[in-house]
């Protein structure tokens, strides 16, 4: 296990994984917020205590900030990990192709998330997560900026050992 983690380096191929993880996290937050709100309404109409749900709704902001923290952390780790790779310039073309595909997919995922967040069921829950909505609306630009930084670190560094 330590050997697998020790040899993990950051490359452009990490960005599709980051995209899927951020989309999954943001979508899970929306669905969880919708379910919590519906459960609170059901418990309230049944005359049951809803203080636990009220306390949970008070920390939605923390979950919203967690999406921003995750994307900054994932991209930062990828850029830092890229500093430890000696990469041949031959792979630059493949990196650009993968980046292009990732950006096309991220634009579609951004559109899917926007369509899901504006549905009648999820629109009320989406109002609780403005940072996650902004990140998902701008995910192609965010990934492009991270990939440019990673590419600079991978291919423009001096050939000196770290």
CB 117 within 8 Å of CB 133: yes
Residue 5 has pLDDT above 50, yes or no: no
Residue 161 in any domain: the answer is: no
Question: What pLDDT does 84 receive?
Answer: 81
Q: Is the dihedral of CA 121, 127, 131, 133 positive or negative?
A: positive
Range of the domain at 21: 7-155
Residue 2 in any domain: the answer is: no
Residue 160 in any domain: the answer is: no
Can you tell me which residue has the tokens 């899970």?
A: 28
Residue 109 in any domain: the answer is: yes
Question: What pLDDT does 4 receive?
Answer: 45
Q: Which residues lie below 8 Å from residue 101, measured CB to CB, with a gap of 6+?
A: none
Based on the structure, what is the number of domains in the chain? Answer: 1
Residue 108 in any domain: the answer is: yes
> Could you give the CA distance from residue 117 to residue 28 in angstroms, rounded to a whole number?
11
pLDDT tens, position by position, 21-44: 999 999 999 999 999 889 888 988
Mean pLDDT across the stretch 151-157? Answer: 80
Residue 25 in any domain: the answer is: yes
Mean pLDDT across the stretch 136-161? Answer: 84
Question: What pLDDT does 160 receive?
Answer: 53
pLDDT tens, position by position, 47-105: 888 888 888 888 888 988 999 999 999 999 888 888 887 777 788 888 889 889 999 99
Residue 101 in any domain: the answer is: yes
Residue 29 in any domain: the answer is: yes
Residue-by-residue DSSP string for 77-143 = HHHHHHTT----TTHHHHHHHHHHHHHHHHHHHHHHHHHHHTSTTTHHHHTT-HHHHHHHHTHHHHH
């Amino acid at each position: 296990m330590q050997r697998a983690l020790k040899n993990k380096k950051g490359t452009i191929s990490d960005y599709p994984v980051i995209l899927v993880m951020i989309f999954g996290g943001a979508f899970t937050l929306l669905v969880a917020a919708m379910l919590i709100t519906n459960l609170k309404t059901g418990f309230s109409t049944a005359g049951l205590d809803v203080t636990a749900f009220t306390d949970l709704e008070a920390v939605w902001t923390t979950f919203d900030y967690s999406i921003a923290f995750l994307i900054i952390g994932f991209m930062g780790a990828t850029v830092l990990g890229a500093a430890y790779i000696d990469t041949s310039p031959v792979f630059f073309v493949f990196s650009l192709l993968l980046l292009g595909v990732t950006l096309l997919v991220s634009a579609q995922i951004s559109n899917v998330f926007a369509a899901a967040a504006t549905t009648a069921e999820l629109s009320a829950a989406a109002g609780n997560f403005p940072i996650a909505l902004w990140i998902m609306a701008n995910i192609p630009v965010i990934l492009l900026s991270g990939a440019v930084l990673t590419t600079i670190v991978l291919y423009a560094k001096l050939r000196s050992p770290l």
